[in-house]
């Protein structure tokens, strides 16, 4: 009988506040176009409910990861992140995802791509999307990956074993530099909005930071409320298209970046309050690399966060980024001789293996032959 579906091994994993299937690169087509069709079929896109695939009908659960052993000196694993959308037939491998990154080492240990290195195991991971490297440390007592623990991250229920991510070089991940316009502040004039002051910045994720009050909002509104605010979303999109060109990103109408981030004074005990759009949906929390980029703006003299953010002294400094479901702490170290140069960013995430098995793909999309 003819093969009607192709089985592809994968693990469904939560990484940070995101979730999606993780694949070995060797189990997927080598041709990018065919690979993308396979990922779309696996997730069930395009369809707003993603009813025919693994996707969860939300950008945070419409993600996939592809992992392989690296042959580059000093690098253990390579990770390709794929952002899909429920209602679109697009697969974007341009941006990073720090949340899915948190599950890369657990996946590699689960599938035998690497072996444990003692009670705690550290591996260097290269994100192929932007050539960003980081060191990831996971707990491996008895040589096995540990998921249970006392670490808690806002945006994910319960507690779990800590996963420490130490980013080595995130500045200008997608853009040409940390400050892609060449300025720490820009005054952008958009028809129907007027002049708005922003900071365009990329320290792992291209972001546009602007004061919520400049758009007549407090910055403390719920994600649900902001997602129903059509007027605000239309104004943010007009501003996003204009700043995308300023940042050297060209026409960003169909791109998931830059992400627009409303900022306000901290409401609780954090450093800054945020509402981040990804890019058309208000995030229930905030992305890992978006948090790193926001934290960076907090320590840069004269950024749009100056006078709003509550930042203590010292080096390194811990910046607590408030978001709709809690806070996200980032540890930053700055070059004392060059205050615009952030030399290190470290943070804590958690991950969990949810399911292992095979996702079935129509054979008409891919027969499994490489």
Residue 217 CA to residue 215 CA, distance in Å, equals: 6
Same fold, 5-162+351-362 and 186-342: yes
Residue 120 CA to residue 92 CA, distance in Å, equals: 33
- The structural domains of the chain, with segments of one domain joined by +, span 5-162+351-362, 186-342
- Answer whether 360's CB lies under 8 Å from 6's CB: yes
Topology classification of domain 5-162+351-362:
Diaminopimelate Epimerase; Chain A, domain 1 (3.10.310)
- Answer whether 303's CB lies under 8 Å from 263's CB: no
Sign, CA dihedral 303-305-310-311, equals negative
- Answer whether 38's CB lies under 8 Å from 29's CB: yes
Q: For residue 142, what are its two tokens?
A: 């008895």
- Answer whether 106's CB lies under 8 Å from 145's CB: yes
Residue 104 CA to residue 123 CA, distance in Å, equals: 10
- Answer whether 188's CB lies under 8 Å from 246's CB: yes
Residue 124: which H helix or E strand, with range?
A: strand 120-127
Q: For residue 99, what are its two tokens?
A: 């949340």
| Cα 226 versus chain centre, distance | 20
Paired with 192 in beta bridges are none
Grouping H, G, I as helix, E, B as strand and the rest as coil, residue 98 is: helix
The pLDDT assigned to 343 comes to 83
Cα–Cα distances in Å, from 175 out to 2, 81, 193? 47, 17, 25
- Answer whether 132's CB lies under 8 Å from 126's CB: yes
The pLDDT assigned to 2 comes to 62
Mean pLDDT, 10 residues at a time, the chain of 370 residues: 85 96 98 98 97 95 98 98 96 93 98 97 96 95 96 92 91 91 95 91 95 97 97 96 96 94 96 95 92 94 92 87 94 82 89 98 91
Grouping H, G, I as helix, E, B as strand and the rest as coil, residue 24 is: strand
The pLDDT assigned to 315 comes to 84
DSSP symbol at 246: H
- CB-neighbour burial class of residue 216 (10 A; exposed 0-12, middle 13-18, buried 19+): exposed
The pLDDT assigned to 191 comes to 83
Of the candidate CATH numbers 3.10.310.10, 3.10.129.10, 3.30.9.10, 3.90.226.30, the domain formed by 186-342 belongs to 3.10.310.10
pTM: 0.81
pLDDT digit string, tens, across residues 196-230: 999 999 999 999 999 999 999 999 999 999 999 99
Terminal Cα distance for the chain, rounded: 21
The pLDDT assigned to 337 comes to 79
């Amino acid at each position: 009988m003819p093969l009607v579906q192709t089985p592809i091994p994968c693990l469904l994993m939560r990484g940070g506040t995101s979730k999606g299937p993780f694949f070995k690169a060797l189990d997927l087509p080598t041709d990018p176009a065919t690979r993308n069709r396979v990922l779309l079929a696996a997730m069930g896109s395009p369809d707003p409910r993603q009813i025919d695939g693994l996707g969860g009908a939300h950008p945070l659960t419409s993600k996939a990861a592809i992992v392989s052993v690296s042959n580059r000196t000093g690098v253990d694993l390579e990770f390709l992140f794929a952002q899909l959308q429920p209602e679109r037939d697009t697969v974007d491998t341009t941006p990073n995802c720090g949340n899915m990154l948190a599950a890369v080492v657990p996946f590699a240990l689960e599938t035998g791509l690497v072996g444990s290195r003692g009670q705690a195991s550290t591996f260097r991971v290269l994100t192929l999307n932007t050539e960003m490297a980081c060191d990831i440390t996971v707990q491996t007592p008895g040589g096995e990956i540990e998921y249970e623990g006392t670490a808690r991250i806002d945006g994910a229920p319960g507690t779990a074993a800590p996963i420490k991510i130490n980013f080595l070089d995130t500045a200008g991940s997608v853009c040409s530099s940390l400050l892609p316009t060449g300025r720490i502040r820009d005054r952008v004039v958009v028809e129907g909005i007027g002049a708005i002051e922003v900071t365009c910045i990329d320290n792992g994720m291209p972001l546009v930071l602007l004061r919520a009050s400049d758009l007549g909002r407090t910055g403390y509104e719920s994600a649900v409320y902001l997602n129903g605010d059509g007027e605000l979303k239309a104004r943010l999109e007009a501003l996003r298209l204009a700043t995308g060109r300023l940042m050297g990103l060209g026409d960003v109408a169909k791109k998931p970046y830059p992400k627009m981030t409303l900022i306000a004074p901290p409401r609780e005990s954090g450093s800054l309050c945020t509402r981040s759009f990804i890019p058309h949906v208000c995030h229930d929390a905030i992305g890992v690399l978006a948090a790193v980029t926001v934290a960076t703006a907090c320590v840069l003299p004269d950024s749009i966060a100056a006078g709003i953010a509550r930042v203590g002294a010292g080096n390194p400094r811990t910046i607590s980024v408030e978001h709709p479901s809690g806070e996200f702490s980032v540890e930053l170290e700055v070059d004392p001789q060059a205050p615009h140069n952030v030399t290190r960013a470290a943070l804590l995430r958690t991950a969990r293996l949810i399911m292992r098995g095979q996702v079935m793909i129509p054979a008409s999309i891919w027969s499994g032959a490489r």
